[in-house]
């Protein structure tokens, strides 16, 4: 695909990531650490975990031992790399999604969105009771926002919490909670005030509380999953489990959503690179009608279009990372980038499967797993329609 004599990066997973000055040697070391963990602990087991529909709890403490679980959290609480930036998070998401192992990532990363509000706005006693055990891999935390009736429209959530003296009584339903079946604690968005964004609060609820029941979410979804639905019936929550200011929880939600979107974007682009690299490798080897598949013009054009989409998405990502790291919060661009990244993944997954043809369905290609998991990224973290509309409002349209 390169012109004769031209010097180009390899057309494998690593080479398909365009260079950027934002990535340093420190980030390269971090990638090596995460990749070593994935290769040692996840890659040999992912097929068996798919078949079993779960993975062992021991993986959490192994991630702690590998030095990757507490990334970005204070060392005083058991964290590592306190000065981690967005690229550290992006690299973590990329490396776990090289295998299409999305649910392993989702379960291992729920503390990234569940713990920061507890650390920043929760009572100090929660640091020892909750934060330390989670960062040690001994306990789990999940984040419950989505409801059966609400989806991406968080401002309409209906799960209620009423104050009764020294406790809250919580009633409602939550669903699509990543890591929810394993969680010891669930940071839960509840309505404590009036309608709209102004009446939302965050409560940290013990998953073993009387009146709280959980069930797996079945149907079209990720394998290995501990995604849960949760029913709350007069669940008593101590008053000091309020995280932040009553009725001011929506701002904390938006901060977490921004971080979650960066992880989702990184995951989709990593899987896009996997699809593209697999398609390039196959097209270079497979012969049809007397020549390599890659020598057919129509196939080369497909591959070039995929490279173009991936490179354009990374250019947009690097710009957004730079702006966030320098104090800007370009919400419209982050929304549009997520839409661009998810459409890039679906395009690359579809075209790669088409290039591999029947061999893509033999059970020996990551493409099957990635294609199966691709659509959830267009829904999680805000659907394409919701994000387009949010971007329009931010742009003043």
Q: DSSP states of 295-364 as a string?
A: GSHHHHHHHHHHHHHHHHHHHHHHHHHHHHHTT---HHHHHHHHHHHHHHHHHHHHHHHHHHGGGGGSS-
DSSP 80: B
Instruction: Count how many domains the chain has.
Output: 3
For residues 4 and 22, give the distance between their C-alpha atoms in angstroms, rounded to a whole number: 30
Write down which residue in 116, 135, 154 finishes a domain. Answer: 135
- pLDDT score recorded for residue 217: 83
Q: Across the strands, what pairs with 186?
A: 142, 205
Q: Which residues of the chain have pLDDT under 70?
A: 1-9, 101-103, 151-152, 219-225, 363-365
Do 167 and 216 lie in one domain? The reply is: yes
**Does an H or E element contain 262, and which?**
helix 249-285
Are 257 and 382 contained in the same domain?
Answer: yes
**What is residue 156's predicted lDDT score, i.e. its pLDDT?**
81
pLDDT of residue 3: 46
Tell me how far CA of residue 170 lies from CA of 24, 31, 160, 320, 384, in angstroms: 47, 42, 6, 38, 31
Are residue 205 and residue 257 in the same domain, yes or no? no
CATH code at 149? Answer: 2.40.110.10
Q: Which domain holds residue 215?
A: 141-248
10 vs 3: CA distance, rounded Å: 13
Q: What tens digit of pLDDT does each residue of 42-64 get?
A: 989 888 887 777 888 999 999 99
> Is 115 within 8 Å of 134 (Cβ atoms)?
yes
Residues 160 and 237 in one domain: yes
Q: How many Å apart are CA 162 and CA 143, to the nearest integer?
A: 20
* Angstrom distance (rounded) from CA 387 to CA 16: 27
Separation between Cα atoms, residue 266 and residue 269, nearest integer Å: 5
């Amino acid at each position: 695909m390169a012109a004769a004599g031209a010097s180009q990066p390899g057309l494998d997973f690593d080479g398909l990531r365009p260079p950027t000055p934002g990535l340093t040697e420190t980030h390269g070391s971090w990638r090596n650490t995460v990749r070593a963990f994935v290769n040692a602990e996840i890659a040999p087991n992912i097929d068996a975990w798919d078949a079993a529909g779960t993975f062992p709890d021991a993986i959490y403490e192994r991630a702690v031992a590998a030095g990757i679980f507490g990334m970005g959290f204070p060392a005083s609480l058991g964290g590592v790399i306190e000065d981690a930036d967005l690229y550290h998070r992006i690299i973590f998401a990329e490396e776990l999604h090289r295998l299409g192992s999305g649910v392993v990532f989702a379960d291992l990363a729920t503390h990234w969105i569940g713990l920061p509000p507890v650390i920043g706005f929760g009572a100090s006693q929660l640091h020892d009771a909750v934060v330390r055990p989670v960062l040690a891999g001994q306990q789990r935390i999940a984040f419950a926002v989505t409801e059966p009736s609400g989806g991406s429209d968080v401002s309409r959530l209906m799960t209620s919490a009423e104050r009764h003296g020294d406790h809250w009584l919580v009633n409602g339903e939550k669903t699509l909670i990543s890591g929810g079946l394993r969680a010891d604690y669930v940071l839960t968005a509840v309505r404590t005030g009036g309608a709209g964004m102004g009446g939302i609060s965050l409560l940290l609820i013990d998953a073993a509380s009387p009146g709280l029941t959980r069930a797996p979410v079945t149907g079209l979804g990720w394998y290995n999953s501990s995604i849960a639905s949760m029913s709350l019936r007069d669940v008593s929550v101590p008053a000091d489990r309020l995280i932040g200011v009553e009725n001011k929880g929506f701002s904390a939600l938006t901060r977490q959503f921004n971080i979650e979107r960066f992880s989702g974007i990184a995951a989709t682009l990593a899987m896009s690179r996997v699809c593209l690299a697999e398609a390039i490798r196959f097209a270079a080897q497979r012969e049809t009608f007397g020549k390599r598949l890659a020598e057919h013009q129509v196939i080369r054009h497909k591959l070039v279009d995929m490279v173009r989409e991936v490179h354009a998405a990374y250019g947009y990502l690097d710009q957004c990372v730079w702006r966030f790291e320098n104090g800007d919060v370009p919400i419209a661009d982050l929304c549009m980038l997520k839409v661009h990244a998810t459409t890039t993944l679906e395009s690359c997954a579809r075209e790669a499967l088409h290039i591999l043809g029947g061999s893509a369905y033999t059970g020996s290609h990551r493409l099957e797993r990635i294609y199966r998991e691709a659509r959830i990224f267009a829904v999680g973290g805000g659907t394409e329609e919701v994000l387009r509309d949010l971007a329009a409002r931010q742009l003043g349209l």
